[in-house]
Chain A
Amino acid sequence: MPIFGGMKPEALLHPTPAGLYCPPGDFYIDPVRPVARALITHGHSDHARPGHGKVMATRRTLEIMKIRMGEGFCGASEAIGFGETRDIDGVNVTFHPAGHVLGSAQIAVEKDGLRIVVSGDYKRGLDATAEPFEPVPCDVFITEATFGLPVFNHPDPRTEIGKVLESLAVFPERTHLIGAYSLGKAQRVIRLLRDAGYGPPIYLHGSMERLCAWYEAEGVALGDLRPATVEKGAAVDFRGAIVIAPPSALQDRWTRRFNDPLPAYASGWMTVRNRARQMGAELPLVISDHCDWGELTGTIRELQPQEVWVTHGREEALVRWCSLAGIAAKPLHLVGYEEEGE
């Protein structure tokens, strides 16, 4: 049993049906039900929900919430910068970059010499559209486990994006329709295409236009973006173009406007061929906003926490790995996180 300083870690943070709760500070982190005080790690809708009283998050996360949920998404909001600390009823909270999407944070919760880091969703891989992950030494590290199985080894995203360009050469007539989640993944895919030298306009599903414009305003250059809409009577069928849409739209009537569309999905789940086939992906792109197995286990090795708590995803395998590595670990069994970003 690890020995901690002043208090038991479960007294500082523990799971409740509404989410991870800090009794001394009386706040929740990423609560799944409306609460009086919430700290939000990032803007994906399973972590950032409307209806809370007070919300603390990074400025970028607050802006994303406003874009997605409207002005009245909470009672009162407070922006906090990376590296800044706030005292909430004697509990110190500090936000650090998580590398997941733009504005995403890990939250360090500290009291009486005990520090717990809630990583939220995070990744360690290359990404020009998110602030890079910062390792924070801690006593207890709370990690996600979305891709918590040894089979998940995300390849270099530049290799994956190269497949799109190769496919365009083999199928120059077909519309390459890439399913990518509207917040984070879409912008990352566009940026990867641009960095690979793809210059032509990229067409967007209507639901992602505002977020892409916001990314640009935040300094993430995305090049020539246009709406994938058809003027009445116009004979445009997006032959040989790249179109980015949320994954759900790829199975919708919406796709009928395109010329023999070639469905591609950008997701960590595309690692598994059967999963890609079930989704109907003809071009699976393994591009993930989450850690793969190597990054999850590497981060735990790097931080050397006394305990690891594992939340949403495939907890059991990561807990097993920790026990083989001699690190105390337990699953948290939090519910309500649907891996929306993937």
Chain B
Amino acid sequence: MRRFAHLLDRLLVTPSRNGKLALLSEYFRTAPDPDRGYGLAALAGTLTLKSVKPALIRELVAERMDPILFQWSYDYVGDLAETVSLVWKPEGEPGDPGLGETIEAMNALGRTEVRGFVRAMLDRLETSPRFAFIKLVTGGLRIGVSGRLARQALADAFGRGVDDLEAVWHGVSPPYGDLFAWLEGRTAELTIESPAVFRSPMLATPVGEGDLEKLDPADFAAEWKWDGIRIQLVKSGATCRLYSRSGDDISAAFPEVLADDTFEGVIDGELLIGGTARSNAATRTFSDLQQRLNRKTVTRKLIDEFPAFIRAYDLLDEGGVDRRDLPFGERRQRLEDVVSRLPHDRFDLSPLVSFTGWDELDRLRSTPPDPVIEGVMMKRWDSPYQAGRAKGPWFKWKRNPYNVDAVLLYAQRGHGKRSGYYSDFTFGLWRDGEAGPELVPVGKAYFGFTDAELEVLDRFVRENTVERFGPVRSVRAEPGFGFVVELAFEGIQRSTRHRSGVALRFPRIARLRADKLPADADRLAVLEAMLPP
């Protein structure tokens, strides 16, 4: 438990992705079996563990200490697991039970045995493992590690490609003894329990400067780039799974698209909300889709209000036969045939966009027929389906981003290489307040600038700080003095969490506008006019 607890402690305070990868890889390489397998499961969200209510933990600590001293401690620390791990006065011999041993023992308990077992564990463990244990059993392990990041670290740890790992990941289960044996080369073959595995998706590269001159429009099919989430539907016998682009199993949240039981194979597509083209109802926006994302389960009511469907892009497997080596054109024909037989209200085809030249496609891209389109995709007719982002076979050509001129309001120090710089910025636009024009925050941006531009921004923040709140500084922002930047963003939606009432998607700094004064910056009304109806 000590090893795993130490890993959690480091992950909790390590903001950078590379730092997290290094810590995770080190753990997967060096922790013993089956602990590392259970640790992987806990991080990747695949662990099954008998859970305990926080109330039980409170009752146990009340047996040991003055309730007022506990309350003051809790008020100071602010987290139950952490407070209890710190104030607990262990009785008996301390030890270091393994993570695997602990989880297996916990899962074998009868209902009446849980309280005694948890108390004994709190006594046996040291402070940091006690924290990890309470987090695990109360289900509150939130440490900023996604399943994808954990798998990337696992692949890194043993010098494998993450695609190799993805190909087998959904066929293995905790504590992953066979997986580690395979990764370490102790066994040559890994027997997959279930064939409904995720295939690494094929990705497109953005159209760059001068790319199109070299390409013949006749070699390419075009289709709309829909603003939902990319998914993969895998059906094999009785097993049916829906995966996100990163390979996370999201089946439980979207039962309505898994209901069909006639199809066998793998479809690549976009998950969207609303009606299919074939049911003649509108496709709804990304903000409607967000109502359904990041949920473990879903209610009937939510399905009725925000029905999901799949807009199919590609066919990777048909009836157990791998089709990825076929050219796109041929896969597309087979896909049309497959989709025609799938339920009309849950599946449709992503329509092809006919065009004769790049100029025409550019016009179509800029004025798409549906607000849920964010550009066009271009796919070579002869391209096989290959995992990853190779440049050449597939391109994405997005609608131009939106732009506003906004005023720098707050800055926060960055992390890692940027820890000495103010590199996370909050920007605002003008609106009419009760006491006249005021700046209201509309979004944060922490990239899009060069190192030299960062020096300029950092110097402005340091020399024009008005107030400090912990790591955050507010800077001078008056009509005649301040810092203006051009913010670029991909979309906009209503938000009740932001004071401005709007939230920007994917905002970044496009240009520093040292030539402009805050008085020249845009008004909030400019953003409000861009909102979807």
> Which residues of A have CB within 8 Å of B78?
274
A170–B19 CA distance with the chains assembled, in angstroms: 9
Q: Contact between B86 and A153 (Cβ–Cβ < 8 Å)?
A: yes
Q: Is the CB of A261 within 8 A of B419?
A: yes
In the assembled complex, A252 has its CB within 8 A of some CB on chain B: yes
B59 at the interface (CB under 8 A from A): no
Binds B, one of A58-66, A182-190, A280-288: A280-288
**Closest B residue, CB atoms, query A263:** B419
Give A334 to B14 CA distance when docked, in angstroms: 38
CA gap between A281 and B15 in the complex, in Å: 10
Secondary structure dominating the interface of B: helix
In the bound complex, residues from chain B placing their C-beta under 8 Å from that of A155 are 127
28 contacts between A and B (CB under 8 A): A150-B70, A150-B86, A153-B86, A155-B127, A163-B6, A167-B10, A170-B23, A171-B19, A255-B419, A255-B420, A260-B417, A261-B420, A273-B9, A273-B82, A274-B78, A276-B13, A277-B12, A278-B470, A278-B471, A280-B415, A282-B13, A283-B10, A284-B13, A314-B76, A316-B72, A317-B69, A321-B66, A324-B66
A33 interface hit (Cβ, 8 Å): no
Q: Chain A residues with Cβ under 8 A from B215's Cβ?
A: none
**CB under 8 Å from chain B, chain A span 228-268:** 250-256, 260-261, 263
A145-186 to B contact mask, C-beta < 8 Å, 1/0: 000011111010000000100010011000000000000000
Residue A335 at the chain B interface, CB threshold 8 Å: no
Q: Is A36 an interface residue (CB 8 A)?
A: no
Cβ A281 vs Cβ B13 within 8 A: yes
Instruction: Decide yes or no whether B79 CB sits under 8 A from chain A.
Output: yes
Which residues in B have their C-beta under 8 angstroms from that of A277? 12-13
Answer yes or no: B264 CB below 8 A from chain A CBs: no
CB-defined contacts of A263 to chain B, threshold 8 Å: 419
Contact status B13-A151, CB under 8 Å: no
B13 touches A272 (CB 8 A): no
Q: Which of B405-464 contact A (CB under 8 A)?
A: 413, 415-417, 419-421
Ordered nearest first, which 8 A-B pairs have the shortest CB separation?
A151-B86, A255-B420, A150-B87, A256-B420, A151-B73, A170-B26, A282-B13, A150-B73
Q: Find chain B residues with CB under 8 A from A321 CB.
A: 66, 69
Q: Which residues of A sit under 8 angstroms from B83, Cβ to Cβ?
A: 151
**Interface residues of A, CB < 8 Å — how many?**
38
The distance from the CB of B10 to the nearest CB of chain A, in whole angstroms, is 8
Given known contacts A149-B72, A150-B86, A151-B76, is B66 in contact with A320 (CB within 8 Å)? yes
Q: Is the CB of B14 within 8 A of A151?
A: no
Known contacts A150-B73, A151-B77, A151-B87; A251 and B413 CB within 8 A of each other? yes
Is residue B390 within 8 Å, beta carbon to beta carbon, of the partner chain?
A: no
- Verify B77–A282 contact, CB threshold 8 A: no
Residue of B23, B69, B417 with most partner-chain A CB within 10 A: B69
CA distance A151 to B26 in the complex (A): 30
Asked if A304 is at the interface of the complex by the 8 Å CB criterion, the answer is no
